[in-house]
Amino acid sequence: MCGIIGIASSNPINHVLISALKGLQHRGQQAAGVATMDGNLMHLKKELGLVKEVISEFDLTYLRGNIGIGHVRYPTAGEANDPEQAHPFYVNSPFGMMVAHNGNLNNSALLRNDVLKKNHRHVRTRSDSEILTNVFAFELEQLTTNQELNNDKIFAAITNLHSRITGAYAVVSLIADYALVGFRDPFGIRPLILGKKVEANGTITYLLSSESCAIEINGFEIIRDIKPGEGVIVTKDGKLETRMCHANPQLHICIFEYVYLARPDSIIENVTVQLARRNMGKYLAEQIRNLNLEIDVVIPVPDTSRTIAVEVADTLKKPYREGFVKNHFTGRTFMLSSQEERKIAVRNKLNPVAVEFRDKNVLLVDDSIVRGTTSKEIINIIRSCGAKNVYIASAAPQVRFPNVYGIDMPTHNELIAYNRSDEEICQVIGADKVIFQTLDNLKKSITDINPELSNFDASCFDGKYITGNIDDKYLNSLLKVDWN
Tell me the average pLDDT of the chain: 92
CATH of the domain at 288: 3.40.50.2020
Residue 225, strand partner residues: 193
| Beta strands, E only, 74-220 | 89-91, 97-105, 167-175, 179-184, 193-198, 204-209
Q: Do 210 and 301 reside in the same domain of the chain?
A: no
475 within a domain of the structure (yes/no):
no
* Predicted pLDDT at 483: 34
* Predicted pLDDT at 85: 85
| pLDDT tens per residue across span 147-176 | 899 999 999 999 999 999 999 999 999 999
Query: At residue 474, does pLDDT exceed 50?
Result: yes
In this structure, the strands spanning 179-184 and 193-198 are: unpaired
More confident residue, 52 or 117: 52
pLDDT confidence band for 1 (50 / 70 / 90): confident
Q: Do 247 and 278 reside in the same domain of the chain?
A: no
How far is CA 287 from its chain centroid? 28
Q: Do 168 and 108 reside in the same domain of the chain?
A: yes
483 within a domain of the structure (yes/no):
no
476 within a domain of the structure (yes/no):
no
Q: Do 296 and 244 reside in the same domain of the chain?
A: no
Cα atoms found within 13 Å of the Cα of residue 82, Cβ hemisphere only: 16
Q: How large is the average pLDDT for residues 346-354?
A: 84
| pLDDT tens per residue across span 308-348 | 999 999 999 999 999 999 887 665 555 445 556 655 667 67
- Which of 2, 213, 254, 426 is flagged as catalytic? 2
Q: Do 99 and 180 reside in the same domain of the chain?
A: yes
Three-state DSSP at 287 gives helix
Q: Do 107 and 159 reside in the same domain of the chain?
A: yes
As a whole number of angstroms, the distance between CA 207 and CA 16 comes to: 10
Q: Do 193 and 303 reside in the same domain of the chain?
A: no
CATH of the domain at 189: 3.60.20.10
DSSP 320: B
Query: At residue 475, does pLDDT exceed 60?
Result: yes
| pLDDT tens per residue across span 187-238 | 999 999 999 999 999 999 999 999 999 999 999 999 999 999 999 999 999 9
pLDDT confidence band for 101 (50 / 70 / 90): very high
466 within a domain of the structure (yes/no):
no
Q: Do 329 and 432 reside in the same domain of the chain?
A: yes
Q: Which of 187, 217, 251 is the last residue in one of the domains?
A: 251
Please say whether the beta carbons of 255 and 454 come within 8 A.
no
Q: Do 154 and 246 reside in the same domain of the chain?
A: yes
Q: Do 287 and 394 reside in the same domain of the chain?
A: yes
First to last CA, the chain: 13
Q: DSSP letters along 398-465, please?
A: ---S-B-SSSSB--GGG-TTTT--HHHHHHHHT-SEEEE--HHHHHHHHHTT-TT---EE-HHHH---
Query: At residue 481, does pLDDT exceed 50?
Result: no
359 within a domain of the structure (yes/no):
yes
470 within a domain of the structure (yes/no):
no
457 within a domain of the structure (yes/no):
no
Q: DSSP letters along 386-399, please?
A: T-SEEEEEESS---
Please say whether the beta carbons of 89 and 98 come within 8 A.
yes
Please say whether the beta carbons of 62 and 38 come within 8 A.
no
213 tagged catalytic:
no
For the chain, the domain total comes to: 2
Three-state DSSP at 69 gives strand
Q: Do 291 and 228 reside in the same domain of the chain?
A: no
Q: Which of 217, 251, 285 is the last residue in one of the domains?
A: 251
Boundaries of domain holding 61: 3-251
461 within a domain of the structure (yes/no):
no
Q: Do 369 and 232 reside in the same domain of the chain?
A: no
As a whole number of angstroms, the distance between CA 5 and CA 21 comes to: 6
